[in-house]
Chain A
């Protein structure tokens, strides 16, 4: 099946936002990250091969922009409190799983960077292990151990939140 460039880009824009949200943990920073990725992609469009993988290319640029930004302390992750405000503002309150969704994203935002990256690429974006390892430039074994640790940490964190906030269950 062949998708037009327009379709591919529309799909990738949403994927880029998801990945940017996972990395930046803040809606404004995530949007900045996506915009800067697009700017760099425009500037370097000639490096994209005609039959290349658009998602890998764009994710690679976004990853580099994020890593460089963190290194220069220009893109600051504002932490779990900011993502809490973001989820309240973004998710409709009548969503059946609203509270659980919010708590999952909050718990996710407390995970270390490398676990969030791997979880997003594999569990959210559905990349194969090979593709995700190549994208992050890490060995396959490292990717698998980060994935397992990330899932387990998220499960434990959700368990803690369940025990700490039993009253929230009643809202569902």
Chain B
């Protein structure tokens, strides 16, 4: 490879030209440089060949069909289709609800009125425990999608109760768990180790089959029971703290519904 050396500007232009990012007015001038500089032209060929090899190599490796992945893709397709359908019929449904006077509940939820915890609204920063809750919920969904659910037992509503959370250095902390209404069925409870100690995860199934996670983590600064909502990795989360315990509720519910569930839970803890 000989000829003129390649200047820094030419080297930068090489990428713009190759990736179709160069302004049309400059292309002709750069093509003239390519024609007169064999070293520059050779480097362009080399980059192009490298790109072809990279595309081909990754594409061949990506050309596999994994049953579980295809199942998940099918579920996502169905979900997006359903969401699209829901959006189309939502205005009509809202109008019908208003006619029936059902708007009062919506107003109540959106305004955060009524007794009990206050609503702080959307926040930008996601606390570590809420981030962990999103992670735990996604894993639980994956497990539930890829494995058959364990047989469920018809159970009466679970009254409020307490649980022992192991802490570092052998300590144990007693945390209050919220009362759960008959609409939620507990299908799994597990201890989740995370970066800041130990947490409890409760996985519930709702009547429509959707899954909901309650994530209870100990430690952290004591705060009032203000409810916060946040989106993490496309997942809506509602969290609050009561004393030294942090609670996060997440699931694939409509925003207002998720807030209503969280509000009920927070109320039951506050009353304890």
Interface of A toward B, CB cutoff 8 Å: 5-6, 9-10, 13-15, 17-18, 21-22, 27, 31, 34-36, 38-48, 50, 57, 61, 64-65, 68, 72, 86-87, 90-91, 95, 97, 100-102, 104-105, 108, 119-120, 122-124, 128-129, 144, 147-148, 151, 154-155, 158
Contact = CB atoms under 8 A, between A and B. Distances in A.
Given A14-B59, A61-B234, A42 B79 contact: yes
A46 B252 contact: yes
Contact of B62 (A14, A35, A148): A14
Given A36-B138, A43-B141, A124-B55, A148 B15 contact: yes
Q: Chain A interface secondary structure, helix, strand, loop or mixed?
A: helix
Contacts of A13: 69-70, 73
Nearest to B210: A43
Contacts of B66: 31, 35
B15 A151 contact: yes
B76 A65 contact: no
A150 B51 CA distance: 11
A65 B69 contact: no
B27 to A, nearest CB: 16
B19 A129 contact: yes
Interface in B123-155: 131, 135, 137-139, 141-142, 145
Given A104-B54, A124-B55, A21 B62 contact: yes
Contacts of A158: 50
Q: How large is the interface on B (under 10, 10 to 19, 20 to 34, 35 or more residues)?
A: 35 or more
Given A17-B62, A31-B66, A155-B46, 4 more contacts: A38-B75, A39-B141, A47-B234, A154-B54
A18 B58 contact: yes
A64 B60 CA distance: 25
A46 B68 CA distance: 22
Contact of B61 (A10, A86, A119, A129): A86
Interface in B224-242: 231, 233-236
A18 to B, nearest CB: 4
A87 B234 contact: no
A22 B251 CA distance: 30
B31 interface: no
Nearest to B251: A43
B252 A9 contact: no
Given A44-B231, A148-B15, A39 B145 contact: yes
B178 to A, nearest CB: 21
A34 B58 CA distance: 15
Given A36-B142, A40-B235, A47-B234, A124 B58 contact: yes
A91 B63 CA distance: 10
Q: Looking at A14, A101, A144, which has the most chain B CB atoms within 10 Å of its CB?
A: A101
Contact of B76 (A45, A95, A100): A45
B4 interface: no
A9 B68 contact: no
A148 B12 contact: yes
Contacts of A35: 66, 68-69, 72, 142
B77 interface: yes
Nearest to B61: A90
A133 to B, nearest CB: 11
Given A34-B69, A39-B138, A90 B60 contact: yes
A144 B46 CA distance: 18
B270 to A, nearest CB: 28
